[in-house]
Chains A and B, each alone.
Chain A
Amino acid sequence: MSSEIRTSDSVILSVQHVAKSFHHKKILKDVSFQLSGASASVLIGPNGVGKTTLLKTLAGVMRPDSGEAHLVSLPLFTENFSHRKHLIYWSHQSLFYPAFSGMENIRFFLSLRNQSIHDQKIIEQLDYFGLLPQINDPVRIYSAGMLQRLTMIKMILSDWKLALMDEPTSALDVDGLDHLNHLMKQWKEDGRALLFSTHDIGWAESWADTALCIRNGVIEQEISSPKFQDMHHFLSEKR
């Protein structure tokens, strides 16, 4: 899978003037930025500034009021959904069907991406992530950490160029966080683009090449190679 990616020099996501409001309140006013391959960007900002709204809008869960976005040069906000195969969305909810087992959920979501994969490969991943004993259990009975691990398996087995991740570290134990760190490194090396939000700015410092600092519905600052202090300073400013 990784051999197909290698698009590090090109722009993978370009967002221009995206706006979104709820009940006449403008959450996103004018958001513009670009993401390149082999890079990770963190969205930081106080609670309620629209980080999740922006990720959901780019993922196709919400409709923007205005603005444009291009994913590998293809328009994102259109009725042609086929090129959404290049993106994958990791929400802070687990996005699985509760009555299905982990295996069935993975198989179903891969089929939507027109990917067929041998069951043995899914079993190997379930084993690696310690979920093999629950192979036939419905995900309804999984813990939050187990669901996060299952999401990692979905990400590993899917082909994508851009990952939109909303609080990926939440509910992960030390072992789960180690898995995620390993994957973040792998994905960047593969040339993929990562856009994530997190309140753990220490973790963000380890991975982010750019911090997109969002406030008042716009990207107020873009910080290259952000340090903990830079992000902490932005978050503690009162405006």
Chain B
Amino acid sequence: MTLLHLIKKEIRQEIRAKESIISMVVFGTSVILLFSFAFNATPAEFSRFLPGLMWMTFLFVSVLGLLRSFSAEKEMDAYAALLSSPVDRGSIYLGKLFAFWIFLLFAQLFTMPLFALFLNLNISAHFFTFMVLVLVTDWAIAAVGIMISGMGLRTRMGEVLVPVLMFPLLSPVLISATKVTHTIVSGSTLAGTNFWMMILFTFAVVFTATGYLTFGAISEE
């Protein structure tokens, strides 16, 4: 029940402040347009590096959203009120994680069609697998990202901490998502993607559990 209140609070706050999703969508759109103008490649050439470009873009978009994810807690130190409430820290983490996952999916809802429009992203051969891939990869990004943002909440270097720690930590996720996306875009058989999907699932589960169990120690002063 408390978790539901925490998720609703995050979503209502985003609807009011409009801080995360709009900046994520605008930034994502700009990057996609820049890519489409900057690279003068044939569709066949493009399909080779499009999956990597796409996930790198979403990683940058995530950083932008994550930098805002605790800003409302800091402004009037509402986070102190959360910590002094009878709420376990794991629920605070899960509330933020779930809300950020929704925000990231929402931003992708607007930016993903632009990849198809400007950079010839074609997922029609394995649409369902691509949806599963996006859901799991986004969850893994959010699980790591919220944990690191929570760490940054009580440190002076908080905003630097997010990209500096997040990119190396998420490299297995980026590699796995890129490999699976490459198979999907090329339209070949999915038999070889099980290994990479397994890495993504494992990563998402392990970091969610780690964040849930350690968020108190991470985010208290």
Contacts and interface: CB of A to CB of B under 8 A. Distances in A.
Contacts, number: 91
A28 to B, nearest CB: 13
Contact of A97 (B76, B217, B220, B221): B76
A1 interface: no
Contacts of B217: 63
Nearest to A82: B86
A153 to B, nearest CB: 14
B22 interface: no
A176 interface: no
Nearest to A101: B16
Contact of A59 (B9, B72, B76, B80): B80
Nearest to B90: A79
Nearest to A151: B81
B77 A91 contact: yes
Contact of B78 (A62, A63, A95): A95
Contacts of B220: 60-63
A97 to B, nearest CB: 5
B65 to A, nearest CB: 16
A94 B78 CA distance: 7
Interface in A134-193: 138-140, 147, 164
A113 B86 contact: yes
A139 B76 contact: yes
Interface stretch (A35-43, A104-112, A214-222, A225-233): A104-112
A15 B83 CA distance: 19
B80 A89 contact: yes
B78 A112 contact: no
**Best-buried of B1, B78, B84, B217 by chain A (most CB within 10 Å):** B84
22 contacts: A59-B80, A59-B83, A60-B84, A61-B84, A61-B221, A63-B221, A81-B88, A83-B86, A84-B86, A87-B84, A91-B80, A95-B78, A96-B76, A96-B78, A97-B78, A98-B78, A99-B13, A100-B13, A100-B16, A109-B85, A111-B5, A138-B16
- List the 10 closest A-B pairs by CB distance, nearest first: A95-B81, A99-B16, A89-B84, A93-B77, A59-B84, A85-B86, A84-B86, A112-B85, A99-B17, A62-B221
Given A97-B9, A140-B75, 13 more contacts: A61-B80, A61-B83, A82-B86, A89-B80, A93-B80, A95-B78, A99-B72, A100-B12, A104-B12, A109-B81, A111-B2, A112-B5, A147-B76
Interface of B: 1-2, 5, 9, 12-13, 16-17, 72, 75-78, 80-89, 216-217, 220-221
Interface of A: 56, 59-63, 79, 81-85, 87-89, 91, 93-100, 104, 108-109, 111-114, 138-140, 147, 164
